Amino acid sequence: MADLAANAQGGARPFARLTAALSRPTTLAQVLFVLGVAALLVALTLVAQSNLERLSVKSGYGFLWEKAPFELGESLIAYKAGDTYMRAFAVGILNTLKVAALGIILSTALGLVIALGQLSPSSVVARVCRLYIETARNVPLLMQLIFWYAFLTASLPRVKQALSPVEGVYLSNRGLFLPALDFGGAGGQIGLALLAGLVMAVALMVWKLRTQARGNIAWAFWGLLLLPAIATFLLSGATVSLDLPELKGFNFRGGLAVSPEFLALLLGLTFYTAAFNAEVIRGGILGVPKGQTEAATALGLKRGQVMRLVVIPQALRIIIPPISNNFLNLTKESSLAVAIGYPELVRVANVTLAETSQSIECISIIMLVFLTISLSTSLFLNWFNARAALVTR
Amino acid sequence: MSLRTIAAAAILAVTGATAAHADLLDDIKARGELSCGTLNYLPGVGFLDDKGEWSGYDVDFCKAAAAAILGDPSKLKLVALTGPQKFPALDSGEIDILSRSVTQTISRETTLGYDFIGPNLMTGQGFMVRKDSGVTSVDDLDGATICVLGGSAQERYLAEYFAYKGMTFTPVAAEGGDQMYPMYFDGRCDAVTQEPPYMAIRRLRSGQADEHVILSDIISKSYEAPVIREGSPRLREVLQWMHWGMITAEEMGITQANVEEMAATSQDPNVRNFLGTDGNVGQDMGVSNDWMVNVIKAVGNFGEFFDRNLGKNSALGVERGMNALHRDGGVLFAPGWQ
Amino acid sequence: MTDHSVTLPPGEGRGIKPWIRAQMRSPLGLVLNIAMLALIVTALPPLLDWAVIRATWTGSDMNACPPEGGACWAFIGAKMRLILFGTYPYDEHWRAVIATLIVVALVLASLNPLYWTRRLAMGWVIGLAVYSVLMWGGVFGLRFVDSSAWGGLPLTVILTVFGVFFGALVAVPVALARVSRLPVFRIAAVIYVELIRGVPLISILFMASVAMPLLLPEGFSPSGLVRVIIGIVIFTAAYMAEVLRGGLQAVPKGQHEAASSLGLGYWKTQFKVVLPQAVELVLPAFVSLIIITLKGTSLVVIVAMMDLLGAAKASLADPNWVGFYVEAFAFAGAIYVAMCASISWYGRRVETKLRSTRGNG
């Protein structure tokens, strides 16, 4: 009512309109709230500025272009001491993404096995799976990480006595060394092509799920996934050879090296998150109404077809929102690796903080990166859910 | 209402604080308690035992400072800090003194705005390797995996030294000594790098002492010194002269056991001046005249202070080496007390 | 939840025989059962051998435990007090035990909506006062113990309890703002909740323990323990607000309408009618948040505090006992599992009781 009245005379008497609006308690409260928050932010900034000035600590992100005087144990891109802090942070972010990606894949696979175990007709298997879930998710992840790290470094043999189950594979407390394919100099390009292929293949799968188009897409899927990489390989004229790890000097050289820090983090994240994923997957499968399977069987579909065409698509709709939440948690929790020295984002920020004393900046970088990952994932999910929902309703 | 009041109060507090910014020495005396940041996990250096008692070299410096400023070593609040926390805690005023085996460097003193006292422990950055590795010099470590404390000055020197020599290495950054040394002894790393006294401590405790050798090469000098923030010249004076005073006491043969007797009965004018029996040195600095008596009663002279925590009277048995008086072949030499 | 594995036909009693009969019906189940049992039979003896038969139970240092022997429980015996209490002064441990028990009892009572009376609020006030006196001391002849010396299980419990308690207090206004008609409050709540849920807890703890002093005027900075609690509260409140929002939105519209037709204003409607129902609806989710917070407190190790995990780590630093990390983590891990499991058990019990009392379900 007050609104209408104020609007009617509004144009001519803006001041009256303002006072009328402010006289409503709800508007007044909101205005005061905004003012209060703004004042708080200003106060914090002023205090921080004066503190930093008093301490003659530099502020701002200029240090990112300065030289970082430390080495990081492992990196997906070339990095050495003397490169910029910016590059060191890039190394950290890539290492975070690397362990998160592998952790998501492995924890989903293990979670699926445990979920199926719980639903299996064997009550002993179901009980063992239940016991696993209750233990793994009730022990703090940090403790699991510290345990795995201590286990890997203290219980595995020294590098000179490395276990070698197969020629070219070595396991010691320096990590796992595997044979690798050596593409000469073209490895990076081929990797990028493979990534592009993966994106296209997943897009195809999403499209299939969305339109429920008929026909088998398996060929198209593998083609999209692998063809770009194969084409890049052929076009670059690179040669392929097997790169075997070999004990030279202090350590194994060549091949693919997986550090104990990375292994401990991956094991911890996988075993911990698998327990949560198993619960989600089990809930998804049980969430498909019994009538659906009965109807499908009545239509004459075989057991495999019932699973593939009826149960899995419906279960996926239930599973995807909560499991992607688990994936996000896994990504955020990979930050605990700082306790075991894996050079991911938080560890890079920590060393930088020790060198530059710019704590607010370093912590804000951690927060910004994770926030970007979280928000872009939820945006993607919202889009995906909207698409997935369209077909059913 | 509340948010705005808080904001206003905050702004007032800031401007007020900046305007009337005094020497930290006066703040500590007004507060009646000294706040000191240290470490809690390294016996002999900074250790909080399972009975809740603090001990160690770095802790004793804090006790001495409390005795010097407040006349009582127990008027002290000790705060355990991790590596990344140590400078922010000093910056924020949570602690007055940082006594946590911090290495003094020019960049830390000039660009980060700290004042270093002392130094109270002079060593360098060395390496420990397994005897059977055949390594005899740092330059043999090309391609090695090296354990180092994450976020320490050593992490930086290590990278710089290897880059300068054109050698490569793989760092394994540990969160603390308790994580780093077991990893080294289990063979996760080919070498471990820290100051030789600390490596000697750990080697002794490992139960496999004769399998490891500490290389004689030192890749960087390490001046370990307590730290305060810049801007409190009088606090810096008190702490610096307290450090020199502990050395002077050793030169003069004044010990924890005889200090009170010396103060009462000594006729030597230098001793009487030093212990505040005569003259007004203490009060001119802003502490009591018998301040050095309190310090020596609390922790002893420099020799006692060193030997009890790190040296021959401790389980660690670290040699005095450079940290002996000049007349005994070390580098310690204090300015005159006139 | 339905259990697919065992479906007992009605009328058949409990016991091992009907169970076996049920297992026999599915050949796949039978095969899996036998395989799993075989696995357990092969894995169990070595485990028992290590944990019980060859284990060492008493001894004063590591020489009591031969390297080729089994578990060294003597280590736990020697380090039990350290792992449980951290660096809280040895002779004062009884104070920490009583103080912690008081708080745990209050929490258990508070989890049951049937006990939500004025008396419980009084209990909290008195309980927290007694708690502070016992933990800090300094009065009534009790020795003063600075909060930086608190450690072990009491620290884990207090971080959890304060995190959940104050987190819930903050979460209520945030959740109300989140569903409010007023855009400013709604947007502010969304920003807060999404911001906090988007970043890892460790970054918030770093902010609280390292950067917070720089954002406050000189001399205003609270102690390390308080700063860490503030960090945990900020984190927990965001998740609780999100859970509570679900509850608020699930309360039928009719309840609002009925309340306002009775002439109740906004606040009375929320606090007397809507919130109590919403909280009951989200109690199970709330209980899992308590467990998440409990596990999250272990992260304070990274900011140099000695909680249960930190004390377990510290117990490994003794040169007289080297290399018993399996025993230390098994002991501390079992405590965590026991705490989490009993919280969820208690939560389920309260839920069942509530359902039977309310007569709907």
pLDDT tens for each residue of C177-201: 888 888 888 888 999 998 999 999 9
Q: Furthest-apart CA pair in chain A: how many Å?
A: 90
When mean pLDDT is compared over B89-93, C28-32, C118-122, C236-240, the highest value belongs to: C236-240
Q: Which of C161, C162, C158, C149 is nearest to C86 (CA)?
A: C149
When mean pLDDT is compared over B112-116, B311-315, C13-17, C333-337, the highest value belongs to: C333-337
Q: So what's the pLDDT on residue A97?
A: 92
- Which of residues B59 and A356 earns the better pLDDT score? B59
Summarize the confidence of residues A74-81 as an average pLDDT: 86
Please state, rounded to an integer, the average pLDDT across all residues of chain B.
84
- Which of residues A7 and A276 earns the better pLDDT score? A276
Please give the share of chain C, as a percent, with pLDDT higher than 90.
10
Tell me the pLDDT band of A5, cut-offs 50, 70 and 90: very low
Judged by a CB distance cut-off of 8 A, whether residue A49 touches chain C is no
Q: Which residue of C has its CA nearest to B175?
A: C302
CA dihedral of residues C36, C39, C40, C44 (deg, nearest 10): -170
Give the Cα separation of B288 and B98 in Å (integer).
23
Summarize the confidence of residues C109-123 as an average pLDDT: 79
- Which of residues B77 and A209 earns the better pLDDT score? B77
Summarize the confidence of residues C211-222 as an average pLDDT: 76
Residue carrying the six token digits 């996934």: A225
Give the Cα separation of A93 and B307 in Å (integer).
47
Q: Which two tokens stand for residue A25?
A: 């308690």
Query: Is residue B91's pLDDT more than 60?
Result: yes
- Set of chain C residues whose Cβ sits within 8 Å of the Cβ of A366: 199-200, 203, 206
Please state, rounded to an integer, the average pLDDT across all residues of chain A.
83
Query: Is residue C2's pLDDT more than 50?
Result: no
Query: Is residue A393's pLDDT more than 70?
Result: no
Judged by a CB distance cut-off of 8 A, whether residue A78 touches chain B is no
B172·A71 Cβ contact <8 A: no
- Give Cβ neighbours of residue A122 (< 8 Å, ≥ 6 apart): C5, C23, C28, C29, C30, C31, C32, C33, C36
Q: So what's the pLDDT on residue B280?
A: 86
Summarize the confidence of residues C198-220 as an average pLDDT: 84
Please give the share of chain A, as a percent, with pLDDT higher than 70.
91
Interval C304-334: pLDDT, tens = 788 888 888 888 877 777 778 888 888 999 9
Q: Residue A300's Cα: distance from chain center in Å?
A: 41
Lowest mean pLDDT among A52-61, C69-78, C146-155: A52-61
Q: So what's the pLDDT on residue C219?
A: 65
B265 with B275: CB under 8 angstroms?
Answer: no
Judged by a CB distance cut-off of 8 A, whether residue A240 touches chain C is no
B88·A357 Cβ contact <8 A: yes
Strand B220-224 to strand B54-55: parallel, antiparallel, or no bridges (unpaired)? unpaired
Q: Which two tokens stand for residue B187?
A: 């063979």
- Which of residues A363 and C54 earns the better pLDDT score? A363
Summarize the confidence of residues A109-133 as an average pLDDT: 88
Lowest mean pLDDT among A39-48, B5-14, B74-83, C188-197: B5-14
Give the Cα separation of A51 and C214 in Å (integer).
6
pTM: 0.82
| Phi and psi at residue C359, to the nearest 5° | 70, 20
- Which of residues C67 and C219 earns the better pLDDT score? C67
- Chain B: touching chains (3 or more CB pairs < 8 Å): A, C
Query: Is residue B19's pLDDT more than 50?
Result: no
B38 with B224: CB under 8 angstroms?
Answer: no
Interval A331-360: pLDDT, tens = 999 999 888 889 999 999 988 988 887 888
Q: Give the burial string for B71-90 (b: 16+ CB within 10 Å, else e).
A: bebebbbbbbbbbbbbbbbb
Summarize the confidence of residues A214-242 as an average pLDDT: 78
C102 with C127: CB under 8 angstroms?
Answer: yes
Contacts with C, A 346-365, CB within 8 Å: 346, 353, 359-360, 363
Please state, rounded to an integer, the average pLDDT across all residues of chain C.
81
Give the Cα separation of C202 and C302 in Å (integer).
8
Give the Cα separation of B159 and B167 in Å (integer).
10
Annotate C5-17 with DSSP letters as a single string.
Answer: S--PPTT--SSHH
What is the interface size between A and C, counted as CB pairs within 8 Å?
160
Summarize the confidence of residues A144-161 as an average pLDDT: 88
Give the Cα separation of B211 and C239 in Å (integer).
53
Angle, CA of C233, C235 and C241, to the nearest 5°: 90
Annotate A46-78 with DSSP letters as a single string.
Answer: HHHHHHHHHTT---SSGGGGSBP----S--SS-
Task: Give strand pairing partners of A243.
Answer: A180
- Give Cβ neighbours of residue C16 (< 8 Å, ≥ 6 apart): none
Reduced to 3 states, what is the DSSP secondary structure of residue B32? coil
Residue carrying the six token digits 């590098």: A159
Give the Cα separation of B80 and B39 in Å (integer).
5
Lowest mean pLDDT among A97-101, B327-331, C273-277: C273-277
| Phi and psi at residue B194, to the nearest 5° | -170, -170
Interval A164-181: pLDDT, tens = 887 778 888 888 888 887
Element (H, E) at B171: strand B169-174
Q: So what's the pLDDT on residue B12?
A: 45
B226 with B238: CB under 8 angstroms?
Answer: no
Q: So what's the pLDDT on residue C19?
A: 60
Lowest mean pLDDT among A310-314, A345-349, A389-393, B119-123: A389-393
Q: So what's the pLDDT on residue B34?
A: 92
C30, C182, C302 ranked by CB distance to A338: nearest? C302
Tell me the pLDDT band of A213, cut-offs 50, 70 and 90: low
- Which of residues C48 and B16 earns the better pLDDT score? C48
